[in-house]
Amino acid sequence: RADWVLCVTVGSQSISPLLWAIETGSQEAAQAIITDLLTIRADRDRYYYGMDILFEEHPDVINRLGMDAPALLPVLMDGLIWRSRITEGGRRRVNYYIKHLVVDADGN
C-alpha cells in the first residue's frame, strides 16, 4: 500500500505521487497520502505503519514540506505520534516516532 503512494512506475518513468502532489500544490492529495501512510494498521499477521518507508523513499520530506507545503508539516508531525485510547489516572500513554528526525540515513 505504501509503495503505491511513494513510487509509481510506468514504462521507464518513475514518479512519487506524494512529491508530485506537493510540487503541484495539491495539498489535499498530499495530506491524504501522508495521513494514509502514517496510520497504524494491523491484520492477523502483522502491523503496518508507513513511517520507515516514507523516510527511506524521501529522506528530505521534512525539507520539501518546509519549502513547498509548510501547512502539511503539522499533518506529518501528528502522524509521528501514537496515542493510547486508554487513560490511567488521568494520563494517556503516548509514543513519539522521531528516529528519522534525529538520526541520519547512516545512523549518525
Q: Identify the pLDDT of residue 6.
A: 87
User: From the first residue on, what is the mean pLDDT of each consecutive set of 10 residues in the chain (108 residues)?
Assistant: 82 90 94 93 87 91 94 95 92 92 81
Distance of alpha carbon 56 from alpha carbon 54, whole angstroms: 6
Neighbours of 96 (CB within 10 A): 10
Q: Identify the pLDDT of residue 92.
A: 93
* Amino acid identity at 27: Q
pTM over 0.95: no
Q: Identify the pLDDT of residue 93.
A: 93
